């Protein structure tokens, strides 16, 4: 196996996903066959080839530092599952 159950659980924890035991095994098998397929890349000679992260060359894109209207607060809160007094409410974080 290219990926252990502990590594599956670690990735799930980092990604904020909760997995049942059966799921851990299922994802381990599926991820394993995908990672095994990806092994073909290790055979490609890449030396000091520049990694590509954008499909064409743009550097920083600046705009004038002028305030423009974006969403107002009431509108931004329309989709929040829970809000009160103009702010989003979440379960208590600090005891």
CB of 65 to other proteins, least distance (A): 14
Q: Specify whether the CB–CB gap between 88 and 82 falls below 8 A.
A: yes
Task: List the structure tokens of 72.
Answer: 């107002």
By residue count, the chain amounts to 95
Q: Specify whether the CB–CB gap between 8 and 24 falls below 8 A.
A: yes
Residue numbers of the site for other proteins (CB under 8 A)?
3, 7-8, 10-12, 14-19, 27, 30-31, 33-34, 37-38, 40-42, 44, 46, 49-56, 58, 61, 63, 71, 75-76, 78-82, 88, 90-93
What radius of gyration do the chain's Cα atoms show?
A: 23
CB of 16 to other proteins, least distance (A): 4
Q: Which residue has the tokens 């520049």?
A: 50
Q: Which is nearer to other proteins, 21 or 61 (CB)?
A: 61
CB of 2 to other proteins, least distance (A): 10
């Amino acid at each position: 196996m290219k990926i252990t159950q502990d590594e599956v659980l670690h990735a799930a924890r980092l990604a904020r996903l909760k997995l049942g035991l059966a799921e851990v095994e299922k994802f381990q098998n599926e991820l394993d066959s995908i990672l095994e397929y990806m092994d073909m890349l290790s055979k490609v000679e890449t030396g000091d080839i520049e990694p590509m992260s954008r499909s064409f060359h743009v550097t920083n894109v600046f705009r004038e530092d002028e305030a423009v209207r974006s969403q107002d607060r009431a509108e931004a809160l329309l989709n929040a599952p829970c809000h009160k007094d103009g702010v989003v409410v979440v379960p208590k974080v600090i005891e």
